Every structure is written in structure tokens, then in C-alpha cells.
Chain A
Amino acid sequence: MIMMTSRQWLATAAGVVILLSLPLFLPNFWLVNIFGRAMVYGVVALSLTFLAHYGGFVSLAQTMVAGVAGYAVAMMAPTAIPLGPLAMPYFAAIPLALLAATVAGAIVGMIAVNTREIYLLMITLALAVGLSLFAQSNITWFRGYEGIRNIIGPEVMGLPFRTPLVFYYVALGVAVSMFLLVLYVVRTPFGLVLQAIRDSDRRAAAIGYYVGLHRIASFALAGFIAGWGGVLITFYNIGITPSSIGLWATVAVLIMAVIGGLGHPLGAFIGALIYTVMDTFASSIIGHDRFNTLIGLVFLAIVLLSPDGVWGLGKRLSTALGKRPQVNADRETSL
């Protein structure tokens, strides 16, 4: 009944200690705009990796589901400009936004439940683009192109949410919690059934599991995870606009998940960090006209070198160096 091997526990603990102490070494720009941003987008990518790795389905609707939470918290935020009719304190708005994302995830699941592979991609992409276009054209609730501004988040221990240390530690807390949540859930009966359905849905049904319902539930859980990301992204951007849930944002999250590696939840965060660093610095390295080319080439190189992303590359390197002689050594024992 161990969740991880002792070496994995050690590595996780070391990682958390390093992340906790980063504010001692790094300027605020790095804390907030690189690590903080990577962690909140990483949470959305994590929801995609969770569905892809353990459920076997790649959903392009995760950014949209995060956007549902983002828009929900913005519509209910007490500081919103323009202020909506639903304005309420943040402590009530945030849980409701998470609930909205969970429900949105379940609805995506219900719509996509009988589709696989390319058809699932197309349906979830259509849902993502659909909501973004709707937000763009709806003035009453979504405020059209302008979106909703001044979503500054709640005060934490008397400090504004946007204080670098506050934002960094909240983002870290949420990212680590969601990461551990995924690692935990996949060892529970629910998570094992999800993997069983991935490996053989017919057999899962033949031993008595209602495959469709499990699929929908996993989309709901992924919606909850993405919702956390959506809320924090909205605080990070101090508001939300249709473009933050549009096609480019959807592709960005997919890129993070893929270059980081879909084989492990950690890949989502590795990918998000690489993406954020590239997105931030490419223009200063190569100039404003060509920076997208550089980003594209780096991502292409990663995917060509290692189809399972940076995580897969690291895993193969450590196997090659003889650190993990057994086939199953890197696998957590669950029962």
C-alpha cells in the first residue's frame, strides 16, 4: 500500500523543498512570470495528461473547461469591471467556479463519451472553439471582446493576491495538490477502473463496469483540476477575454502536455515551464520578427528527439545509465 517508491518520495520531497525555497534566490519576475505562470498553466495541462495517460483519450476541451471556471469567477468577482449582477465575495465565487468547471467537464464527457481518437479530438476542439466564439459575441454575460477586467483575486492574510510571494506560493500549493491528487486517484478503485477501460473497454464492461459512466466521471474530475488552473490564470491575467480560451490557448496547453511528455503527470509541468521560458525569452534572443520560428523549432526538436516528450527522454536516459535495472521499478505499487 505504498503510493510511490522511497526513491520517488525522496525526489518529490527534494523537489518541493527546492520550489519552496526559490523565492530566496529568484527575482519576482522569475517567481511570478516564469514559475508561477508555468505552474498555473501546468495545472490545465495536467488535466489533459491525466485523461490522456490514464484514460487513453486526448481532450482538446481542457482549456475551454478552465475558461468556464475563469469566466465563472470573473462574473462573480466582487472587484470585476464591469461588475456583474452575481457579484459575491471571492471565498464563495472560487468554489462555485470550480463547481462550474467540474460540471462543464462532465458535460464534455457526456457529449464525447462514445467517441475515440480523431473523433474525440474533433468534438472537443469544436466545443472549445464554440465556447470561445460564444464568449466573443455575447455581451450580456461574457462582455464580448473586452472580456471582464480587474479580477485581482482575494486577499491572502491581508496581502493582495498579486503580491509575488502570495501568488507564487498559492500557485505552488495548488499545483502540488493537483499533482498529488492525480497520483493518488490513479491508485484508487476509480482510477484503476479508468486505466482498465483504457486497456480494454470491452473487458471492463464484461466484468461489470459501466464504461460510459466512468468516462464521464473522469472528464468531471479533469474539469475540476482544469478549473483550479482556470481560476488562477484569471487572477494572473487580472481578467479574462475570449482569446484566453480560444484556439491558440488550446494549442498552447496541448503543446505543453506533449513536449513535457504525456507519460507522467510531471510532464505537464515540465512542458509548461519550457513553454513559458520559450514564450518569454525567444523574442529577446532572436528578435520580434522570428521568435515564433525559434519556438517552433525547439518544440519540433523535442518531439522528434523524444516522441514521449522531455519526461520520456529523462526516463530513457536514466535507464541507459543503469539506474533502473528492472522493468517495473519505476512503477508505483498500489495494493
Chain B
Amino acid sequence: MSASPSHSSELPALMLEGVGRRFGALRAVSDVTLRIEQGERRAILGPNGAGKTTLFNTICGDFPPTSGKITFFGTDISQLKPHRRARLGIGRTYQSSTLFSGLSVRENLYLAVRAMKPGRFSLLKAGPGHADLRRVQDLAQQVRVEHILDTRIDAISHGQRRQVEIGMALAGNPRLLMLDEPAAGLSAAERPQLVALMAELPRDLTLVLIEHDMDVALANSEKVTVMKDGEVVVESTSDKVADDPMVQAIYLGEGH
């Protein structure tokens, strides 16, 4: 299922048309229209409660949109279940760590590698040297966790968990990678490592990033979408967004 991106296509990687999500009377996201090209690096900024994570969840299927349409490389995915979207090539991380805490780093990565292939119900164990296990080794190197492969998730640091998260999201060779505040809770020493890791990602991989930290966001994106109260209020390039009066109001007003 690891579809290789087709370079000839003019289709946007991700297209949202009038997407909204209600929870009862609460409009968490309303009428969001976005076009993200293949290979683009897009940051989504906004204050707490702006609807950034809800927007992520509508794209990944945790909470499908209640209105509007989402297409992924031309395929309408608006009402697909999360695992179907994952198999189409959407990888994501969560804001708070939701790894499989009772399993080792190796097992977490292995499950993510296996998820994209048939045999999800297999009762046969992978032998040593199996291609899936070599892939786990490569992923671990890529996200720099190869030294803790046999440690259980509940025994590793927060920063290491974020790295495992990204490794798992990359395991299925996604065409679109969505990172929900990857730098949240990281120490000053861990941040540059994350930025470097993200800079190493393949160029044809489309990246959408929610980030509170302006510096991390701008260092890793070309375009920026700013949300407030569930709506897109500014769309700009990364080098100009800081000059936007609306963005200044939001961020200065929030006390950053």
C-alpha cells in the first residue's frame, strides 16, 4: 500500500472545500477551504481552541467532517474510516503521546510497518532478519531511537516518544504527514534535533504541521495558515506571516 507519489499529477495532495465539524451546538471548525500541493510544507497556527486539532481529526477521520468535502490526491475521503485513510497514505502524530505504552519501541514501530500490509491478523511471528524488522531498524535510525529499541514506551523520555511518534507516522511511507505540535513539551536541547529530523524528510512528502512555537513552525514550512475560532483567518507565506497585523494581534494578545 506504500503508493509512490506520482509526479506528473497536477492534483493537490490535500484539498478541503467548505469543511466544517460540529459537536452538538459547538462549531469547532467551520467552512475551511484549503489547498495543499504535493511536497508542500504547511504550518497551521492559531491560539488554543482555534480548531487546529479538530481540523486534523477531520482530515484523518477520527471525527469525520459534518459538512464539506476532503479530497486526497483526487480521492474523496470525507467519510472514510481512519484506518482506510491511513492505508491511502496519510500518516499522523497526536498532540499528546498516544503510543502503545505497554510495548517496546521496536514493537511500536513494527506494528506501524505491518499495518500497511496484508496479514494484519497473522499468527506467525516474523523471523530474525525479516524485511519488516530491517525496516524497523531503518526507521529507528531515521528518528534516532535505535539505541532504545527494546525499551518499553513507558520507560522512555517525552522527547524520545515524540521521535517514535514520527517514526510510526513515517512507517507506512505516507504521501501526507500530519504532525500535531511535535515540539510541544520538548526541552530546548531536544528542539533543534526535531527541526533537523524534519528537514531530512524526503522532499516529495507533503507535510502539514500544527505548531504553537512560531520558530519551529516557520523553520519547517513554506506557507502558513492561521486559524481562529474555527475559521481560517490568514493564509500567507512563512517569511511574511509575522508581519501580518492579525497574526501579531493573535500572538501578542496571547502573551507569547
Which residues of A pack against B, CB within 8 Å? Answer: 1, 185, 187-190, 192-193, 195-196, 198-200, 202-211, 214, 217, 327-328, 331, 333-335
Q: Assess the A334–B123 pair: CB atoms within 8 A.
A: no
B125 within 8 A of A: yes
Query: A210 with B98: in contact, given A188-B124, A193-B111 (CB under 8 Å)?
Result: no
CB neighbours (8 Å) of A206 from chain B are: 60, 62, 82-83, 86, 92, 94
Query: Which chain B residues lie closer than 8 Å to A333 at the CB level?
Result: 150
Contact with A along B93-135 (1 / 0, CB 8 A): 0100011111110111011101110011111111110000100
Question: Are the CB atoms of A208 and B103 closer together than 8 Å?
Answer: no
Contact A334 B101 (CB under 8 A): no
CB-CB nearest in chain B for A190:
B121
A211-B128 Cα distance, complex, nearest whole Å: 27
Instruction: Establish whether residues A207 and B121, one from each chain, have CB atoms under 8 Å apart when the complex forms.
Output: no
**A328-B151, A335-B133 known; A207+B172 contact, CB < 8 A:** yes
Q: List the count of A-B residue pairs having beta carbons below 8 Å apart.
A: 116
Name the residue among B116, B121, B150 with the largest chain A CB count within 10 angstroms. Answer: B121
- Residues of B in contact (CB 8 Å), total 48
Q: Which residues of B64-102 have CB atoms within 8 Å of chain A's CB atoms?
A: 81-83, 86-87, 91-92, 94, 98-102
Q: Does B16 contact A (CB under 8 A)?
A: no
Check B114 against A200 for contact (C-beta < 8 Å). no
Q: Which chain B residues lie closer than 8 Å to A187 at the CB level?
A: 125
CB A324 to nearest CB in B, in angstroms, measures: 15
Give Cα A206 to B162, complex, Å: 16
Contacting pair B114 A203 (CB below 8 A): no
B129–chain A nearest beta-carbon distance, Å: 10
User: Which A residue's beta carbon lies closest to that of B153?
Assistant: A199
Q: Give residues in B with beta carbon < 8 Å to A.
A: 1, 60-62, 81-83, 86-87, 91-92, 94, 98-104, 106-108, 110-112, 114-116, 119-128, 133, 136, 150-152, 155, 168-169, 171-172
CB distance from B110 to the nearest CB of A (A): 6
Q: Tell me the complex Cα distance, A165–B113, Å.
A: 48
Q: Is the CB of A200 within 8 A of B133?
A: no
In contact, B102 and A208 (Cβ under 8 angstroms):
no
Is A202 within 8 A of B94, CB to CB? yes
Report Cα–Cα, A206/B108, bound state, in Å: 13
Which residues of A are found within 8 Å of B127, using beta-carbon distances?
1
Q: Is the CB of B81 within 8 A of A210?
A: yes
Which of A189, A195, A199, A328 is in CB contact (< 8 Å) with B114? Answer: A189
Tell whether, in the assembled complex, residue B111 and residue A214 are in contact, meaning their CB atoms are under 8 Å apart: no
Minimum C-beta distance from B81 to chain A (A): 7
When distances are taken between beta carbons in the complex, the residues of chain B under 8 Å from A207 are 86, 91, 111-112, 115, 168-169, 171-172
